[in-house]
Amino acid sequence: MTTETHWHVAPGDLPAIPASEQNASSGFLVYTIGLLLAVILTVTSFWVANTSVIWAPGVPAGLAVLAIAQMGVHLVFFLHITTGPDSTNNVLALAFGVLIVFLVLGGSLVIMANLNENMMPHTEMMNLQIER
Protein backbone atom coordinates (compact mmCIF):
# COMPACT_ATOMS: atom_id res chain seq x y z
CA MET A 1 0.00 0.00 0.00
CA THR A 2 1.64 3.20 -1.12
CA THR A 3 1.27 6.41 0.80
CA GLU A 4 -0.40 8.32 -1.99
CA THR A 5 -3.26 5.85 -2.23
CA HIS A 6 -6.40 7.86 -1.77
CA TRP A 7 -9.06 5.84 0.00
CA HIS A 8 -12.65 6.62 -0.71
CA VAL A 9 -14.29 5.70 2.53
CA ALA A 10 -18.00 5.35 2.47
CA PRO A 11 -19.73 7.36 5.19
CA GLY A 12 -19.68 5.37 8.39
CA ASP A 13 -17.36 2.71 6.97
CA LEU A 14 -14.46 1.44 8.99
CA PRO A 15 -11.65 3.86 8.22
CA ALA A 16 -8.92 2.58 5.88
CA ILE A 17 -6.63 5.34 7.14
CA PRO A 18 -5.63 5.30 10.81
CA ALA A 19 -8.38 6.40 13.14
CA SER A 20 -6.23 9.18 14.61
CA GLU A 21 -6.49 11.10 11.33
CA GLN A 22 -10.24 10.74 11.28
CA ASN A 23 -12.69 13.07 12.85
CA ALA A 24 -14.07 10.93 15.65
CA SER A 25 -17.56 12.37 15.38
CA SER A 26 -17.96 11.97 11.59
CA GLY A 27 -19.71 8.58 11.85
CA PHE A 28 -22.23 9.97 14.31
CA LEU A 29 -22.75 13.05 12.12
CA VAL A 30 -23.42 10.93 9.02
CA TYR A 31 -26.05 8.83 10.77
CA THR A 32 -27.69 11.94 12.20
CA ILE A 33 -27.90 13.59 8.77
CA GLY A 34 -29.30 10.36 7.35
CA LEU A 35 -31.89 10.09 10.10
CA LEU A 36 -32.99 13.71 9.63
CA LEU A 37 -33.32 13.30 5.85
CA ALA A 38 -35.24 10.05 6.28
CA VAL A 39 -37.61 11.66 8.79
CA ILE A 40 -38.16 14.69 6.54
CA LEU A 41 -38.96 12.46 3.56
CA THR A 42 -41.34 10.30 5.62
CA VAL A 43 -43.19 13.29 7.06
CA THR A 44 -43.41 14.89 3.61
CA SER A 45 -44.95 11.77 2.15
CA PHE A 46 -47.64 11.73 4.86
CA TRP A 47 -48.31 15.37 4.09
CA VAL A 48 -48.45 14.73 0.32
CA ALA A 49 -50.95 11.93 0.79
CA ASN A 50 -53.43 14.22 2.57
CA THR A 51 -52.85 17.61 0.98
CA SER A 52 -55.06 19.39 -1.50
CA VAL A 53 -52.24 21.73 -2.55
CA ILE A 54 -51.10 19.25 -5.20
CA TRP A 55 -53.23 18.33 -8.20
CA ALA A 56 -54.87 15.06 -7.03
CA PRO A 57 -53.70 12.74 -9.87
CA GLY A 58 -50.14 13.96 -9.18
CA VAL A 59 -50.14 12.56 -5.63
CA PRO A 60 -49.08 8.98 -6.55
CA ALA A 61 -46.23 10.39 -8.65
CA GLY A 62 -45.16 12.57 -5.74
CA LEU A 63 -45.21 9.63 -3.36
CA ALA A 64 -43.15 7.55 -5.79
CA VAL A 65 -40.52 10.30 -6.06
CA LEU A 66 -40.32 10.59 -2.26
CA ALA A 67 -40.04 6.80 -1.90
CA ILE A 68 -37.18 6.64 -4.37
CA ALA A 69 -35.44 9.51 -2.59
CA GLN A 70 -35.91 7.60 0.67
CA MET A 71 -34.21 4.56 -0.86
CA GLY A 72 -31.32 6.76 -1.97
CA VAL A 73 -30.90 8.20 1.54
CA HIS A 74 -30.89 4.72 3.05
CA LEU A 75 -28.35 3.46 0.52
CA VAL A 76 -25.93 6.35 1.02
CA PHE A 77 -26.21 7.08 4.73
CA PHE A 78 -27.06 3.72 6.26
CA LEU A 79 -25.83 1.11 3.78
CA HIS A 80 -22.77 3.18 2.78
CA ILE A 81 -22.99 2.81 -0.99
CA THR A 82 -20.64 5.31 -2.63
CA THR A 83 -18.80 5.58 -5.92
CA GLY A 84 -15.42 4.89 -4.32
CA PRO A 85 -13.35 1.83 -5.33
CA ASP A 86 -13.98 0.27 -1.89
CA SER A 87 -17.60 0.18 -2.75
CA THR A 88 -17.41 -1.53 -6.16
CA ASN A 89 -18.64 -4.86 -4.82
CA ASN A 90 -21.55 -3.22 -3.03
CA VAL A 91 -22.54 -1.20 -6.10
CA LEU A 92 -22.36 -4.27 -8.33
CA ALA A 93 -24.35 -6.32 -5.82
CA LEU A 94 -26.94 -3.54 -5.68
CA ALA A 95 -27.11 -3.40 -9.49
CA PHE A 96 -27.55 -7.17 -9.65
CA GLY A 97 -30.26 -7.04 -7.02
CA VAL A 98 -32.12 -4.21 -8.78
CA LEU A 99 -31.89 -6.08 -12.10
CA ILE A 100 -33.27 -9.29 -10.57
CA VAL A 101 -36.08 -7.48 -8.77
CA PHE A 102 -36.93 -5.70 -12.02
CA LEU A 103 -36.94 -8.97 -13.97
CA VAL A 104 -38.94 -10.89 -11.38
CA LEU A 105 -41.51 -8.19 -10.59
CA GLY A 106 -41.82 -6.92 -14.16
CA GLY A 107 -41.92 -10.43 -15.59
CA SER A 108 -44.49 -11.61 -13.06
CA LEU A 109 -46.72 -8.60 -13.72
CA VAL A 110 -46.58 -9.13 -17.50
CA ILE A 111 -47.17 -12.88 -17.18
CA MET A 112 -50.01 -12.63 -14.68
CA ALA A 113 -51.72 -9.84 -16.64
CA ASN A 114 -51.42 -11.89 -19.79
CA LEU A 115 -52.81 -15.01 -18.11
CA ASN A 116 -55.67 -12.93 -16.76
CA GLU A 117 -56.50 -11.58 -20.22
CA ASN A 118 -56.64 -15.08 -21.59
CA MET A 119 -58.94 -16.25 -18.81
CA MET A 120 -62.45 -16.72 -20.03
CA PRO A 121 -64.63 -13.98 -18.49
CA HIS A 122 -66.51 -15.16 -15.45
CA THR A 123 -69.98 -14.65 -16.96
CA GLU A 124 -69.12 -16.65 -20.07
CA MET A 125 -67.84 -19.53 -17.93
CA MET A 126 -71.14 -19.47 -16.03
CA ASN A 127 -73.03 -19.64 -19.31
CA LEU A 128 -70.97 -22.64 -20.40
CA GLN A 129 -71.93 -24.46 -17.24
CA ILE A 130 -75.58 -23.58 -17.69
CA GLU A 131 -75.54 -24.73 -21.31
CA ARG A 132 -74.15 -28.08 -20.24
When the beta carbons of 61 and 109 are compared against another protein, the nearer one is 109
**How many whole angstroms separate alpha carbon 84 and alpha carbon 17?**
14
Stretch binding another protein (CB under 8 A), from 1-9, 47-55, 112-120, 124-132? 112-120
Stretch binding another protein (CB under 8 A), from 19-27, 46-54, 67-75, 101-109? 101-109
Residues 6+ apart with CB under 8 A from 83: 8, 91
User: Euclidean distance between the first and final Cα of the chain, in Å?
Assistant: 82
Give the interface with another protein as residue ranges (CB under 8 A): 89, 93, 96-97, 99-100, 103-104, 107-108, 110-112, 114-115, 117-119
